[in-house]
Chain A
Amino acid sequence: MTNIAEKISPGDKLIAELELNQDSLTGSDVIRSTRRNALKSFSKQGLPARKSEEYKYSPVNRLFQKELSFVTASPVSDEKENSFALAGLDASVIRILNGVVHIPVSGFDSATCAAWSLKSLPKEELSFFENHFAHYALPDTDPFIALNTAAFQDVLIIKIADGAALAKPILIQNITDSTHASFTQPRIFIHVGKNASVEIIEQFASTKKEYATVCNAVSEIVVESGAKALFYKLQNDCAGLQLISTTQVYQHHDSHFDTHTVTFSGSWTRNNLNIVPDGEHCETHLNGLFILNEEQHTDNHTLVDHRKPNCESNQLYRGILKNKSTGVFNGKIYVRPDAQKTNAYQSSKNMLLSDDASMYTKPQLEIYADDVKCSHGSSTGQIDEEALFYLRARGISADSARILLMQAFAKDVVNTIRIEPLRKEIELLIEKRLAN
């Protein structure tokens, strides 16, 4: 086996395939030119090298050992999709299957909220979309953003009207279903109008765990002034999935963005959560919870880029690691010279339950303004033996006591989930995951 193809790096292979496909991919002239530039950007960056500081604890080479193909199989049947439903949750559901958007006919009130796939986007909305698309998640800042921007098949576009207050949450089911080692590129753009308020759940799932499928998702979210957006990312039922998920958020003044990243399954997960509060009096909350077992790998990468004065951001991450799992928390608070009176806080706490588990933490502060209050705290340890003993002394078995304490540990994050059925579902999942 000494043919030339063997010697080409996985990154170059992707580039070659994309170059061939460029003409067949969808989009207006503007979008196609964005695609081409993104491809150029990826060609320049390549896949993150082993020494890359940004991917230091999550080397990506193992994701690309198998030959991956951008061509995806046809989507699964409706029946299968429904198995991912969340009990008791009354939501407007949109599905993205292998990166292709499926909008239901009903379920959206067009006066307050509209959702389109790229193909169904009305002509009069095109320039609005073009003015935002790829303006926040910049291809030059990360090779996977570049890849997605060059290779996406479709875009889910959600537009919340100014002043709208959505009664029902929107549930986006991002499903990967493939019969071979594929590489999908789901893409989402959400625009929350001025003073609007919305709750969105993005659920990642996959149907088959035996294929080394890689999903490279990119979402751009714009929160206009005075708007409030709650965004939940739930990674469950995606055993075997290798996921790179980038969420890029841009906040206008007086807006509120509150997000949760809950990771239970997926063999390899990298969450990039980049938030730019670019107006005064923004409030931002980043919460995260992961419970890992077997050989799972989860890397939560956050960046809050404070650019304007008088903003507040809060990060709260909790992780429980079992078996041979690996967890990473890399959080950065960036305060630019203009962002006086910034209040930024970050907390990352982790519990290691096995000798074979590893936790890497890199909480960073980069501060260029003087009148600020920024702090972070991080700790890694085990179950508090004192507390364990106390519970046992009250007649609770060691196992139940442990689970109780771990639930209490996760509670910091769970309690901040505002959608009741979702919180209940997550509480159930936690119990299940901790028990086995």
Chain B
Amino acid sequence: MAKENQILEEITGGEYKYGFSTDIETETAAIGLSEDTIRFISNKKQEPSWMLEARLKAYRYWLTLEEPKHWPHLSYPTINYQDIIYYAAPKKQQQLSSLNEVDPELLRTFEKLGISLEEQKRLSGVQSTIAIDAVIDSVSVKTTFKETLAEKGIIFCSFSEAVQEHPELVKQYMGSMVPYTDNFFAALNAAVFSDGSFCYIPKGVRCPMELSTYFRINTSGTGQFERTLIIADEGSYVSYLEGCTAPMRDENQLHAAVVEIVAQKNAEVKYSTVQNWYPGDKNGKGGIYNFVTKRGICAGDNSKISWTQVETGSAITWKYPSVILKGNNSVGEFYSVAVTNNKQQADTGTKMTHLGKNTRSTIVSKGISAGFSNNSYRGLVRIAKGASNARNHSQCDSLLMSDTCGAHTFPYIEIKDKSAIVEHEATTSKIGEDQLFYCRQRGIDAEKAVALIVNGYCKEVLNQLPMEFAVEAQKLLAVSLEGSVG
């Protein structure tokens, strides 16, 4: 309550708060993409040859693909893939064992972003502590609480480290949910990914703290291609958070990530994202192109994967966190808030593929469009033959804040089993004038009233977020909608 109030107090300036860039010495790959670029990245990371082979295979496949421009409700100039730097890393980067070894400039950067890389335990105890893997441009600079987690057998490290230290797990799972053949951006990522987070929760372990990755793009002209792999072994539980920001630049920077999750029997993974990449300016200049493939598989019986996302940033968002419900009685959830303002475009949603028996999925999507933006929900619910007693409920609501924006809903529902019950509901409306007036009569100005009403509208989704993130998300919602009331 006090926090909510604080949030509203803080909403004053309307600008993107994370738009600064840090002056750090950076080592980059030569601009452009070729097999040499991939060899350069692989070499930088001293990868085993199987990894390099996997990259090259993906690259060769990628060359045969076309960018998927026909079906998303997005329009943007053709991306010149030879005009991107595929690897950039802060120079001092070495094997770091203590915080003191991290470039102080980097520490300050994360501090400024509100991310503490110091392992201080809070008064409320370990439970509310967050372990962070901080990724800047192409590399992970620091992973906190590794030792504490290791005591429980939890592996939480950078992806590069996992390739070195846990090759058997990486080999077994990498690409099993999102193969390089999946789509254009997944293939590109498989070829050039530079780092990311890796997480393994052993059998029966409940991860004692939130795990989190913070992505920061810093260097101009680079793309960020990270990969996250989360393996929840039988009966385990983990809540994973992801946050991202980037400097304000006139150029469009590409972010093409892959996230893979596997939940074994009785395991549960909760994955939350607050996406706040630089959205570009009022006129649509600059901003991140965010093309992300996220997929989880409920491999074992009674497993559960839940995606929650709050998407406020990026010039373009193309993202469909999905769940394959393979295990019997498995559960998939997707909770999403997507806000677009000015010239932003979002085409986002989910795919729920029901294969096992008695599987359940829930989709709640809240789209809010303002300014000149376009906001689309695109989702697929597929009930395979033999997936008996599958249940799905989808609710997709769109809120329009201006008469120059667009709100769209494109659900695909495919049912091949007669015992399925699938329900889909969608609504589109504008913000209630009478609600606004009511708030204003009580002394709340229009801008704050909008923030209040929109937060209420998104409550169902925001409630899914861990506390710290919920606060962040509410702030973001208010900030991204500033200037949207006429």
Contact = CB atoms under 8 A, between A and B. Distances in A.
A364 B71 CA distance: 14
A371 B486 CA distance: 14
B413 A375 contact: no
B407 interface: yes
Nearest to A346: B426
Interface of B: prevailing SS: strand
B418 interface: yes
Interface of A: prevailing SS: strand
Interface in A18-61: 53, 57
Interface in A294-344: 337, 340
Contacts of A360: 412-415
Given A340-B403, A372-B429, A363 B417 contact: no
Given A367-B406, A370-B400, A352 B420 contact: yes
Nearest to B408: A366
A407 interface: no
A380 B411 contact: no
Interface string B250-263: 00000000000000
Interface in A349-368: 350, 352-368
Contact of B416 (A358, A361, A363, A381): A358
B400 A372 contact: yes
A52 to B, nearest CB: 10
Contacts of A373: 427-429
Contacts of A364: 408-411
Contact of A370 (B411, B418, B427, B430): B430
A381 B416 CA distance: 11
Contacts of B122: none
A-side interface size class:
35 or more
Nearest to B419: A382
Contacts of B429: 372-374
Interface string B410-453: 11111111111111111111100000000000000000000000
Contacts of B421: 379-382
A372 B422 CA distance: 27
B428 A375 contact: yes
Given A364-B408, A367-B400, A370-B403, A376 B426 contact: yes
B401 interface: yes
Interface string B131-165: 00000000000000000000000000000000000
Nearest to A342: B428
B-side interface size class:
35 or more
A371 B425 contact: no
B418 A357 contact: yes
Interface string A133-161: 00000000000000000000000000000
A365 B407 contact: yes
A376 B411 CA distance: 11
Nearest to B386: A355
Contacts of B405: 368, 370
Given A337-B404, A375-B428, A362 B411 contact: yes
B402 interface: yes
A37 to B, nearest CB: 25
Given A358-B415, A364-B410, A367-B398, A377 B70 contact: no
B385 interface: yes
A369 interface: yes
A371 B430 contact: yes
A362 B394 CA distance: 13
Nearest to B402: A370
Contact of A354 (B71, B407, B418, B426): B418
Contacts of A120: none
B432 to A, nearest CB: 11
A303 B306 CA distance: 34
B422 A369 contact: no
Interface centre among A53, A57, A364, A370 (most CB of B within 10 A): A370
A193 B401 CA distance: 40
Nearest to A373: B429
Contact of B409 (A365, A371, A380): A365
Nearest to B399: A370
Contacts of A382: 418-419, 421
A379 to B, nearest CB: 4
Given A352-B420, A358-B416, A359-B415, A365 B428 contact: yes
Given A359-B413, A370-B403, 14 more contacts: A53-B70, A340-B403, A352-B417, A355-B417, A360-B412, A364-B411, A365-B407, A368-B405, A370-B430, A376-B409, A376-B425, A377-B423, A379-B424, A382-B419
21 contacts: A53-B70, A57-B414, A337-B404, A340-B403, A352-B417, A352-B418, A352-B420, A356-B385, A358-B414, A358-B415, A364-B410, A365-B428, A366-B406, A370-B403, A372-B400, A376-B425, A377-B424, A378-B422, A380-B420, A381-B420, A382-B421
Interface of A: 53, 57, 337, 340, 350, 352-382
A-B pairs, 3 with minimum CB distance: A370-B400, A361-B413, A352-B418
